[in-house]
Chain A
Amino acid sequence: SQTIHQWPATLVQPVGSPLSLECTVEGTSNPNLYWYRQAAGRGLQLLFYSVGIGQISSEVPQNLSASRPQDRQFILSSKKLLLSDSGFYLCAWSVGRGTDTQYFGPGTRLTVL
């Protein structure tokens, strides 16, 4: 069966510090991978998605970046965090094109102080 892992679960970082969040998927090949951010009590904002190794599409211009060094690994990074980067970061995967079924990881709650 497929499993998606995210770590860490919670993170408190000072403004201006770097960020690296990692997501890995097990039990599937060639998944589409996604990074979302969710502010408290709000909807899901798609940040990046990837349909293959080294292929990254950015949905929202910001100080975040994403990389996909391996087929089932997706990394979200920042060189300098802003207060506005606080939120709940969710990684998700799907297979194929045109599918409305995405499977989410447990999320990372990031607080920037």
Chain B
Amino acid sequence: GQSLEQPSEVTAVEGAIVQINCTYQTSGFYGLSWYQQHDGGAPTFLSYNALDGLEETGRFSSFLSRSDSYGYLLLQELQMKDSASYFCATGAGSYQLTFGKGTKLSVIP
């Protein structure tokens, strides 16, 4: 089976940089994805890493180290609208995704 661990809450200051970590244990691994969910809203896909290294998409970057079973989401130039929950997930090559329990990011002025 799959399990993913991520911190439950993170607080950061507007304009700063924050990193949300995710460690995983899987019986098979293809890649790690990240989703954002605002309060009351649906999750939206942010990024996917199949290979080691950093993937950058605007202010958001995602990193994967397969040898360490570890990844992180990096948010730069934080804005108040980035306050949301962030989930890491992995599919292990199947049809299903297993999600972490989510990290609630609070951006403060």
Q: How many residues of B contact A (CB 8 A)?
A: 25
Interface majority SS (helix, strand, loop, mixed), chain A: loop
Which of the candidate stretches A14-22, A61-69, A72-80, A102-110 sits at the interface with the other chain?
A102-110
Complex alpha-carbon distance, A41 and B100, angstroms: 13
Q: A32-B95, A98-B30 are in contact. List 11 more A-B contacts (CB 8 A).
A: A46-B97, A51-B95, A57-B95, A59-B96, A94-B95, A100-B30, A100-B90, A101-B33, A103-B45, A104-B42, A106-B41
A-B contact pairs, 20 of them (CB 8 A): A42-B102, A43-B87, A43-B99, A43-B100, A43-B101, A44-B99, A46-B96, A46-B98, A57-B95, A59-B96, A97-B93, A97-B95, A98-B93, A100-B90, A100-B97, A101-B33, A104-B42, A104-B43, A106-B41, A107-B42
**A79-113 residues at the B interface, CB under 8 angstroms:** 90, 94, 97-107
Contact flags A33-53 to B (C-beta < 8 A → 1, else 0): 010000001111010010100
Is B67 an interface position by the 8 A CB rule? no
Complex alpha-carbon distance, A104 and B102, angstroms: 16
Is B94 an interface position by the 8 A CB rule? yes
Complex alpha-carbon distance, A38 and B32, angstroms: 21
Taking the nearest CB of chain A, how far is it from the CB of B26, in angstroms?
12
**B35-70 residues at the A interface, CB under 8 angstroms:** 41-45, 48
Q: Which of B43, B90, B101 contacts A90 (CB 8 A)?
A: B43
Assess whether B91 is in contact with A44, with CB atoms less than 8 Å apart. no
Residues in A with CB closer than 8 Å to B31 are: 100
Assess whether B44 is in contact with A104, with CB atoms less than 8 Å apart. yes
Interface majority SS (helix, strand, loop, mixed), chain B: loop
Is B105 an interface position by the 8 A CB rule? no
Assess whether B95 is in contact with A105, with CB atoms less than 8 Å apart. no
Residues in A with CB closer than 8 Å to B32 are: 100
Asked if A100 meets B42 with Cβ closer than 8 Å, knowing A43-B102, A44-B99, A49-B96, the reply is: no
Complex alpha-carbon distance, A104 and B93, angstroms: 19
Q: Which 4 A-B pairs have the closest CB atoms?
A: A100-B33, A104-B42, A43-B101, A98-B93
